[in-house]
């Protein structure tokens, strides 16, 4: 392990500190719960980068959204198919305007120092 690799966040981790399969299962469970409790949900796939694992952003009809890590794009596609939801590539389509408007109306959900 190099010195500088200790400074960079590890891939595959989650905000809750879980890693690997446990984090993936918890993320998928959260996405399922989000879909079950809201209407008009669409999924947006965010590709893996050098710093972050593949993630799915679920956006409801009113713009409320949540982001969770998934194991792979295939897992995201299978989840979307199983829930009969559309899955878009965020890199290609971008995010819906309603998501940005919802975030603007709910500043308490923004990341950063509090």
C-alpha–C-alpha distance, residues 112 and 34, integer Å: 23
Question: In the chain, where are the structural domains located?
Answer: 10-108
- Mean pLDDT in residue range 27-39: 95
Residue with tokens 């010195």: 3
Confidence of residue 114 (pLDDT cuts 50, 70, 90): very low
The model's pLDDT over 78-94, given as tens digits with 9 standing for 90+, comes to 999 999 999 999 999 99
Per the prediction, the chain carries an average pLDDT of 82
CA–CA gap between residue 85 and residue 103 (Å, rounded): 22
How far apart CA 6 and CA 8 sit, in angstroms, is 6
Q: Report the run of H or E that residue 46 belongs to, with start and end.
A: strand 42-46
């Amino acid at each position: 392990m190099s010195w500088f690799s200790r400074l960079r966040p590890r891939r595959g981790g989650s905000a809750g500190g879980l890693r690997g399969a446990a984090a993936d299962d918890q993320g998928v469970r959260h996405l399922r719960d989000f879909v079950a409790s809201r209407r008009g949900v669409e999924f947006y796939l965010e590709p893996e980068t050098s710093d972050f694992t593949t993630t799915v952003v679920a956006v409801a009809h009113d713009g409320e959204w949540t982001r969770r890590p998934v194991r792979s794009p295939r897992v995201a596609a299978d989840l979307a198919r199983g829930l009969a939801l559309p899955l878009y590539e965020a890199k290609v389509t971008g995010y819906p305007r309603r998501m940005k408007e919802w975030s603007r109306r709910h500043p308490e959900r923004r990341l950063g120092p509090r």
